[in-house]
Amino acid sequence: MKKTIATLAVGLGVALAGATLGAGSASAQATLANVKQKGFLQCGANTGLAGFGVPDAQGNWSGFDVDYCRAVAAAVFGDPTKVRFTPLAAKDRFTALQSGEVDVLIRNTTVTMSRDTALGLHFTGVNYYDGQGFMVRKKLGVSSAKELNGASICTQQGTTTELNLADYFRANNMKYEVVAFASSDETFKAYDSGRCDAFTTDASGLYAERLRASAPDDHIVLPEVISKEPLGPGVRKGDGQWADIVTWVGYALVNAEELGVTKANVDQMMKSDNPEVKRLLGVEGSFGEGIGLTKDWAARIVKGVGNYGEIFERNIGEGSRLKIKRGLNALWSKGGLQYGMPIR
């Protein structure tokens, strides 16, 4: 019988060893060192949201959030391809970040107080100002969300969307019937097959999902935006250096757009006389070294993925199938909210 125990112990040992075999270990303290040692950035991405993060049949990722990941990789390695993506469902994303499975979470995640303070993650800014909206079929003749009293609404469970929806209908004293699904795929498919009158998620998501409808032109997005959904990248709490890197990658992208530095002209801009451009591209000063990177960190980013405006246009703006207007995400100087903190 000793052997039973011995075998059991060995068995458990094997199981644990097996568990750690496939396990990567990451210390919360030195994400940058860890990333450099691995040789690639592990980025938590959406399981598939057109325009923001979507893998093609060969497993190549593209999208707005994906380009943000690439920008971080470019800043660290000078190579935007040194990034791997972990597709995460809404409900898995925070545990994945906490457990060190991903180094950074750039997955259209709303910045909220409770998430910032209670879930052990730190938001490094806002890369996309969004708001929750509704999509309905044209033939219903609905032109405002206020007319949705009594409608069936499909939503994804475990998101802020689900809570905002309840708040909005309660505040407007309207009734509705909610049908909640675990994934955005299932949610949209149920709407598309007629289970619901309206489909709700972040406005950006509405435009992305509409492309997947059997007949995209049969659907309209209602004008109301019922919530503030600032979407931003998140990192683990407690690693200030890594948080700084992700934060300033975001500002560098916006600053590059403000200063007119693009993927195409970044090399000429190196010779620019504008001191702000010089500081951004590392010709003057060595701001990158302050966050553990090289002087030319921002130049690497722009060379790799372009500036904020380019990323936007390419993936979700007029140059894409989504055709989302800049709106709130225009530069502050053009009436929007994107404002790059000065690099100096």
Partner 1 sequence: MAVHSLTPGADLAYVQARSSDPLPPPSLVRGPIAWLRQNLFSSIPNAILTFAVLGLLLLIIPPTIRFLLIDAVWTGADRAACREDMAGRPVGACWAFVVDRIGYFTYGGYPVESRWRVDLWFAMLAVGIGWMLWLKAPRRDVGAVYFFAIFPVASFVLLTGWQAIGLTPVATAFWGGILVTLVVSIVGIVFSLPFGILLALGRRSKLPLVKLACVVFIEVIRGVPLITVLIMANTMLPLFLPAGVSVDRLLRPLIGVAIFASAYMAEVVRGGLQAVPKGQYEGAMSLGLGYWRMMLFIVLPQALRIVIPGIVNTFIGLFKDTSLVYVIGVFDLMKTIEAARIDPQWAAPTVSNTGYAFAAFFYFVCCFGMSRYSLMVERKLAAGQRR
Partner 2 sequence: MSTIASRPPAKASLVNDPKVRGIVYQVVLVAVLVALVWAAATNAIDNLRAAKIASGFGFLESTSGFDIGQTLIPYSATSTYGRAFLVGLLNTLLVAAIGIVLATFLGFVVGVARLSSNWIVARVATVYVELIRNLPLLLQLLFWYIAVLRALPEPRASLNAGIGVFLNNRGLYMPRPIVAPDSWLLMASLAIGVVAAIAYSVHARRKQAATGEQSPTGRAALGFVVGLPLLVWLLLALLGTNPISFELPQQTRFNLNGGLQVFPEFVALTLGLTIYTAAFIAEIVRAGILAVSRGQTEAANALGLRSGPTLKLVVIPQAMRVIIPPLTSQYLNLTKNSSLAVVIGYPDLVQVFMGTVLNQTGQAIECVAITMAVYLTISIVTATVMNDYNRRKALVER
Q: How far is the CB of 159 from partner 2 (least distance, A)?
A: 8
Closest CA to 307 of 54, 50, 67: 67
170 binds, among partner 1, partner 2, none (CB under 5 to 8 A by kind): partner 2
Q: Which is nearer to partner 2, 177 or 318 (CB)?
A: 177
Residues that bind partner 1 (CB under 8 A): 1, 3-4, 7-8, 11, 15, 18-20, 22-28, 47-48, 55, 57-59, 84-87, 89, 91-92, 95-96, 98-101, 182-183, 185-186, 188-189, 211-214, 216
Q: Is 185 in the site for partner 2 (CB under 8 A)?
A: no
157 binds, among partner 2, partner 1, none (CB under 5 to 8 A by kind): partner 2
> Which among partner 1, partner 2, none contacts residue 59 (Cβ within 5 to 8 A by kind)?
partner 1
Structure tokens at 325: 């207007």
* Shortest distance, position 200 Cβ to partner 1, whole Å: 18
Q: Residue 224: which of partner 2, partner 1, none does it interact with, CB under 5 to 8 A by kind?
A: none
Backbone angles phi, psi at 145, to 5 degrees: -65, -25
Assess contact for 203 and 209: CB atoms under 8 A.
Answer: no
Neighbours of 133 (CB within 10 A): 24
Please, what is the minimum distance in Å from the beta carbon of residue 165 to partner 2? 7
User: Which residues, in sequence order, are CB contacts of 151 under 8 Å at separation 6+?
Assistant: 176, 177, 196, 197, 198
Window 238-267: contact mask with partner 2 (x via CB under 8 A)? x-----------------------------
Q: Which stretch binds partner 2 (CB under 8 A): 55-63, 126-134, 163-171, 211-219?
A: 163-171
Contacts for 175 with CB less than 8 Å, ≥ 6 apart = 149, 150, 169
**The binder of partner 2 chosen from 64, 85, 176, 312 (CB under 8 A):** 176
Cα atoms in the 13 Å half-sphere on the side-chain side of 131: 13
Binding mask 71-90 for partner 2 (x = CB under 8 A): -------------------x
**Cα gap 120→103, rounded to integer Å:** 13
| Tokens 């994906």 -> residue | 66
**Which CB sits closer to partner 1, 235 or 301?**
235
CB-count exposure of residue 178 (10 Å: 0-12, 13-18, 19+): middle
Reading the block at residue 330, the tokens are 């225009």
Q: Which of 163, 213, 221, 330 binds partner 2 (CB under 8 A)?
A: 163
Sequential DSSP letters for 39-83: TSEEEEEES-BTTTBEE-TTS-EESHHHHHHHHHHHHHHS-TT-E
**In the complex, minimum distance from the CB of residue 220 to partner 1, in angstroms, rounded to a whole number:** 18
Residues 89-128 that bind partner 2 (CB under 8 A): 90-91, 94-95, 98-99, 117-120
- Residue 199 or 308: the one with the smaller Cβ distance to partner 1 is 199
Name the residue among 242, 234, 256, 333 with its Cα closest to residue 301.
256
Can you read off the two tokens belonging to residue 187? Answer: 């949610």
The phi and psi torsions of 191 (rounded to 5 degrees) equal: -65, -45
Measured from the CB atom, the residue of 100 and 292 that comes closer to partner 1 is: 100
The binding site for partner 2 (CB under 8 A) comprises 1-2, 4-5, 8-9, 12, 28, 90-91, 94-95, 98-99, 117-120, 140, 147-152, 157-159, 162-163, 165-167, 169-170, 176-182, 186, 190, 193-195, 197, 238
